[in-house]
Copies of this chain bind each other. A is one copy, B any other.
Amino acid sequence: MSNQYADRLVVVRDVDSLRRRVRDWRRDGLSVALVPTMGALHKGHMKLMDQAQKMADRVVATIFVNPKQFGPNEDFSSYPRREADDFELLSAAGVHLLFAPEATAMYPAGFATTVSVAGISDVLDGKHRAGHFDGVATVVSKLLLQALPDIAIFGEKDYQQLVLIRRFVEDLNIPVDIIGAPTVREHDGLAMSSRNAYLSAEERVKAPALYVAIAGAAKDIAAGGEIEATVEAARQKLITAGFDSVDYVEARHADTLAPLTNTSNHGRILAAARLGRTRLIDNVPVPIQQGA
């Protein structure tokens, strides 16, 4: 009985409690993985938790819908919040600690600091979501420094975010290893996302075309297709498939997000497109050419 309670998921909402618990674990020689989320957990998140369980002795999940990474016309107020469901999922997955702070604990009166990353923040999603990546860099810096884990795990679904986080963690010497985890997809290829809940039945039928278009473009580029013509064809396919608009489809260097100019480089196709009121993003690696 007592063992059952010792293993149950604990929720903390203040930094001191979080830090004390992680510090005690590390003092006892246990490694700690952090998995930051905005909640509304799905199978993609749970895959991150599984990976954390495999890589560390203790797993800390965080749920915080960060106001600083939403623009004034974005979906901050409507973003799905389901903390009780999330708690059940995390508990069943054997996660040890959930940190779910209030916004006032993260950004008390007088808060004035921003972490920003030149270049990476200004392209792709950064062009379409002003201030978004400053908000991400600032809150992820805080979460890493609040928890002080050994590793932190982020999904490749938000690929630009992952590149950004690796950059500022290295630049600021934040003492943590950043781990990227592969995107989890529905059976028809649609990348799992909390925002998929916004899709109507009709939109849900069209949505997998995003993955189909970029996976096809990645394959074509790997096979020697001209880069700009190939991504332009993918943009056209999205409109044909019923997307209302395409924010971008781009071929980029996977490590720096600089434009991909050479198929022998490590490439990534990234895209964002809109179905009604829902903005979907996705990305895939450009396969390495066999015998290239």
Q: Which residues of A contact B (CB under 8 A)?
A: 15, 19, 110-120, 137-138, 141-142, 145-146, 148, 167-168, 171-175, 256
Contacts and interface: CB of A to CB of B under 8 A. Distances in A.
Nearest to A118: B112
Copies in the complex: 2
Contacts of A115: 113-115, 172
A19 B167 contact: no
A126 to B, nearest CB: 12
A113 B148 contact: no
A62 to B, nearest CB: 13
A142 B169 CA distance: 10
Contacts of A148: 175
List 4 A-B pairs, minimum CB-CB distance, nearest first: A113-B171, A145-B173, A113-B168, A112-B118
Contact of A167 (B113, B138, B167): B113
Contact of A117 (B113, B141, B146): B113
A221 B119 CA distance: 48
A89 B87 CA distance: 57
Contacts of A120: 112
Contacts of A145: 145, 172-175
Residue from A19, A111, A138 with most neighbouring chain B CB atoms (10 Å): A111
A146 B145 CA distance: 13
A137 B116 CA distance: 12
A113 B133 CA distance: 12
Contacts of A173: 15, 142, 145-146
A172 B141 contact: yes
